[in-house]
Chains A and B, each alone.
Chain A
Amino acid sequence: MSETTDKLINALRGAVNEVMGTMAWCEAIAAGEKVVNSLILDDEVGGMIHVGGDVSAMVGISCNKRIAAELCSRIVGLPAEELNDEDLLDGVAELANMICGAMKSKAAVGHLDLSSPAAIVGQQFQAQWKTLHKTHILAFELEGERFCVHLSA
């Protein structure tokens, strides 16, 4: 792992904790990490941001619809059952945005440009990209449910 990637991963761990603590009012428990050669997103919900500038990377979040609704409910302050798919899309995109923004602040690896976030909500989809190298997947648990944050660099 390069020094820059190491810094980004460390920053990402801290970013998830910061965003969960300050915006979702909860503590996400670290639940394992792994490195894969090719990332295929096949959860029901995914949010992604491209990182450009001095580093080229892709950062995202993926989870099932229940945990996405729980997280969005927490950050918005509305009951999960009142959130529609558009709220989920928007909420997951914002989560990805805030996590990536916090990572950028913590990493101190030069100038980073963040794209606008993209989000996918649905079933039976796969998202894959091959232009980047290994993907680091950080798993977290929240109320018995698992969500993943990933960085491809």
Chain B
Amino acid sequence: MRVLIVDDSSVMRKIVTRGLRQAGFKIDEILEAGDGQKALEVLAGGAKVDLILSDWNMPNMDGLTLVKEVRKKDTDTPIVMVTTEGGEGKVNEAMTSGANGHIKKPFTPDTLQATLGKYF
């Protein structure tokens, strides 16, 4: 599968990538973006992805805005928030806006498998 990981921390993008592999997902390609705006540019460039994993707090464009922008054109691609923002209100806001799930940092490969396994 092709995954777009959106996080302003390059280390966190590596951590998520490692977690996906450890969880047993077959990864064909990882695309990365440092904020929501760059993620939209990646998608606008024609990249086809099977999953978007996005942080919440990022400069330029946050994860919630990214979800809303993606959903204007794409209602199918699963979007899962990976963030320290674990409050119920925040999670509900993301889900209402079109996110499909939420993974709270810190996470284990089992957590990734449990949350993402339903899509793959």
Contacts and interface: CB of A to CB of B under 8 A. Distances in A.
Chain A interface bracket (under 10, 10 to 19, 20 to 34, 35 or more): 20 to 34
Chain B interface helix/strand/loop/mixed: loop
A19 B57 contact: no
A44 interface: no
Contacts of A100: 84
B84 A97 contact: yes
B86 A91 contact: no
Interface in A4-60: 18-19, 22-23
Interface in A60-75: 72, 75
Given A76-B18, A77-B18, A114-B84, A102 B106 contact: yes
Contacts of B106: 18-19, 22-23, 98, 101-102
A104 B11 contact: no
A138 to B, nearest CB: 17
Interface string B102-120: 0011111000000000000
A90 B86 contact: no
A75 B15 contact: yes
A123 interface: no
A90 B11 contact: yes
Chain B interface bracket (under 10, 10 to 19, 20 to 34, 35 or more): 10 to 19
Interface string B57-87: 1000000000000000000000000011111
The residue among B105, B107, B108 with the most chain A CB atoms within 10 A of its own CB is: B105
Interface of A: 18-19, 22-23, 72, 75-78, 86-87, 90-91, 93-94, 97-98, 100-102, 104-105, 111, 114, 116
Given A94-B12, A101-B106, 7 more contacts: A78-B14, A90-B12, A94-B11, A94-B15, A97-B105, A100-B84, A102-B105
